[in-house]
A and B are shown apart, each in its own frame.
Chain A
Amino acid sequence: MNGAYRLMPKARSFRLAVRLLILAVALFFAIGGPLPVWMERVVPALSPLVLFAESIAQRTWYAGIFWALPPLAVLVLALFNGRFFCQWICPLGTLYSLPQKISLKKKVLPVRLNALIFWIIISSSILGLPALLLLDPLSTFSRLGAWSAWVPGLLIPIFLLLSFFQSQVWCTHLCPLGYSFDLVNLKTGKAVFNRDRRQFLAGIGIGIPAALLLPKIGKKPGGKPSVLPPGATEKFAETCTRCYACVSACPADIIRVKSGGRVAELSMPELRFETGACEESCNLCSQVCPTGAIRTLSQDQKWRTQIGIAKVEKEKCLAWADNEYCMVCDEFCPYNAIKIIERGDVACPEIDPEICRGCGACESACPAMRAGKAIFVHPLKPQQKITGAT
């Protein structure tokens, strides 16, 4: 078992207490609730694998010092202590170790694939697309904060169940973060690398084509393109690790998990305006993203960011089609992006595309019913900055 540490019974229960405490705190962080919203970022941002793979993929050191220091500390810890993080800190590891005592000790998965996964992530990141990074255990754990995300969310129940048959099968056989600790460990690193040379080669052999092909697989068959959170990079779908910190953080509850779309867009966060809009004075999603898939925006930068442009569908519009006094879109538009076209006494809406931010206030409030809403936001890719507005 945990070869590096042979602990006395007293020390063992001390470690268990520490781990359970960290698990509880991490759960609290992931679920958020009354906590300051940046705490959503704490757990997924702790992974040095995410920090490095994303920085390599995006060709930029996206994390500031504040958010880079904790994962760097975890990395330094691993240089000297290998899997110390796994055995003392990792909340997902703690969760998977709970059935350890009653595990049936079967071999469900006989081969270790963690090196393969690790090298797929690294090689694809070098080509600009961190494939499989959503397997990072801390992003996986953070997903617990967004229950709607059942596709990637299934990872936890599956591997918790498997842990009853093969103790901590995820941690020992699959976890790419755990493997990275083995690899950087000054004592064991070289031997581990030599042992897994085949998986290193296979990882490169899979990772490189994956990075090239993944964005092209699965043409959207008439599916609606997603409006992305303000600050989302052009490669948002590919660089997001699906930690759903933004989903949990959004106070308007409009960041939802996408269903359908291209393979690379599987279960990614997107904005939905059925029940709310991206608020004028809010930039929380951009503050909590641990991967740089959403760039940090100041309040002013966010205010100038155009994430989409709304379009009036006149044949459904109460004013245009039914001659009603409405203008709810204009009423709710915080940016005054609706131009009023007077037809007789009735005002009709038209969008000023130079001013519209795509916040969806109009779409969420539109009261047209006869044929459904009459105004929809269409995403802008890439997002743009509005310079003229004051």
Chain B
Amino acid sequence: MQKLSRRNFVKTGTVGSALLAVAPSITSAAPKPKTEVWVFKGPDSKALMEKCMETIFANGGFGLKAKTVALKVNAAWERTPEQAANTHPDLVDVFLKRAIGSGVKVVMPEFPCHRAEKSFVASGLQEVADKHEVKMIDLKTSKNSFIEVDIPQGKTLKKEMVSRELLEADAVVNMPVAKHHSGGKLTICMKNWMGSAQGRGKWHAMGLHQCIADFSSFMKPTWAIVDATRCMTSKGPQGPSEDMIYPQQVILSKDQVAADTVAALLFHDDPCGAVPYLAIARDMKIGETDTANMNIHRIDI
């Protein structure tokens, strides 16, 4: 055993304290915090959504100072709730009730594919919005409500005109229905942003999947809520489809990529292999695509 001289004491002491100083960062880096995902499952959609809202408020809600929340549903098509082309109005009903009850003001901007007079009404979402005195904003006709933004991380999509309501809100909630899509493979959260972008038509010519990922590197929701109560597995995004599945789930996360991944597992075993924009999101590190790195809370109701 070596004799502890003063010189050695100082040496080891210096190294030791240096190690100690570095240690916390090393120890915390090793077990990386997992991405939280909640999956609420059960036959009663409204009960799922109540639980979902409880979870949101138990995990920071919309932020301490949030006064306005922009809710991006999918209300693009003149299709009934059962046909699963739009977010189910029962879920939106509960969201609006609980969000407004918490004291925030909610707006619902949407750039529909069909005329809003048809799609907002047939989807049942106009009725729910009216019930809670929430404004559904038709971005198709109010074109001056777009603002140009830079997308710093964008590889292909560098600029886009985006709904003013989404940009100006204190918190943004992305609440799509999960469904098959012939060009995008699946529509979930990331793809749902196309309903807030004026230049979306061009994305198809520029490289659809890269653009979806690019845009999601810019638009990140406070909460991503996926309506997977009933889903089209073919003939999306509009349907009608005879290939329906009924997962009876609502999926919640702060990470839209994680929410998309978990929802995509209802359709495909290998989400990143089946949906190109998810693989791009993984490579661009926009969010989590590996379920091993997620804390998935499965809650049956």
Contacts and interface: CB of A to CB of B under 8 A. Distances in A.
Interface of A: 251-252, 276, 279-281, 318, 322, 324-328, 330-334, 336, 338, 340, 345, 347, 365, 367-370
Contacts of B201: 328, 365, 367
B115 A252 contact: yes
Nearest to B114: A279
B46 to A, nearest CB: 28
A284 to B, nearest CB: 12
B237 A331 contact: yes
A330 B208 contact: no
Contacts of A251: 115, 117
Q: Which of A328, A330, A331 has the most CB of B within 10 A?
A: A331
B182 interface: yes
Given A318-B205, A365-B113, A370-B205, 15 more contacts: A252-B115, A324-B207, A326-B205, A327-B182, A331-B113, A331-B183, A331-B238, A336-B235, A336-B239, A336-B240, A338-B182, A345-B276, A365-B201, A368-B205, A369-B205
Given A279-B78, A279-B114, A330 B182 contact: yes
Interface in B232-285: 235, 237-240, 276
Given A318-B204, A325-B208, A370-B205, A330 B118 contact: no
B42 interface: no
Contacts of B154: none
Contact of B202 (A332, A333, A367): A367
A326 B183 CA distance: 5
A389 to B, nearest CB: 11
A251 B141 CA distance: 13
A321 to B, nearest CB: 11
B271 to A, nearest CB: 15
Contacts of B117: 251
Given A325-B184, A328-B183, A340-B182, A333 B204 contact: no
A367 B211 CA distance: 14
B209 interface: yes
A332 B115 contact: no
Interface size class of B (residues with CB under 8 A): 20 to 34
Interface of B: 78, 113-115, 117-118, 122, 181-185, 201-205, 207-209, 235, 237-240, 276
The 9 closest A-B pairs by CB, nearest first: A327-B183, A327-B182, A367-B201, A326-B204, A367-B204, A330-B182, A325-B208, A325-B183, A326-B183
Given A279-B114, A367-B201, A324 B208 contact: yes
Nearest to A282: B118
Contacts of A276: 115
A333 B184 contact: no
Contacts of A332: 113, 238
B25 to A, nearest CB: 42
A370 B206 CA distance: 11
Given A251-B117, A331-B113, A367 B237 contact: no
Nearest to B79: A334
A324 B276 CA distance: 12
A355 B243 CA distance: 19
Contact of B204 (A279, A328, A338, A340): A328
A325 B181 CA distance: 11
A65 to B, nearest CB: 31
Given A327-B183, A328-B183, A331-B113, A322 B78 contact: no
Q: Which of B185, B203, B238, B239 has the most CB of A within 10 A?
A: B238
Contacts of B202: 367, 369
B238 A281 contact: no
A141 B201 CA distance: 40
B115 A324 contact: no
A318 to B, nearest CB: 6
Contacts of A328: 183, 201, 204
A367 B276 contact: no
Contacts of A279: 78, 114-115, 118
A7 B71 CA distance: 67
B216 to A, nearest CB: 16
Contacts of A324: 204-205, 207-208
A63 B202 CA distance: 47
A336 B237 CA distance: 11
A241 B191 CA distance: 47
A326 B208 contact: yes
A254 to B, nearest CB: 11
Contacts of B122: 281
Nearest to A330: B182
A279 B121 CA distance: 14
Contact of A331 (B78, B115, B181): B181
B281 to A, nearest CB: 15
B184 to A, nearest CB: 7
Contacts of B181: 331
A390 to B, nearest CB: 10
Q: Which of B184, B185, B205, B207 has the most CB of A within 10 A?
A: B205
A370 B204 CA distance: 12
A363 B160 CA distance: 24
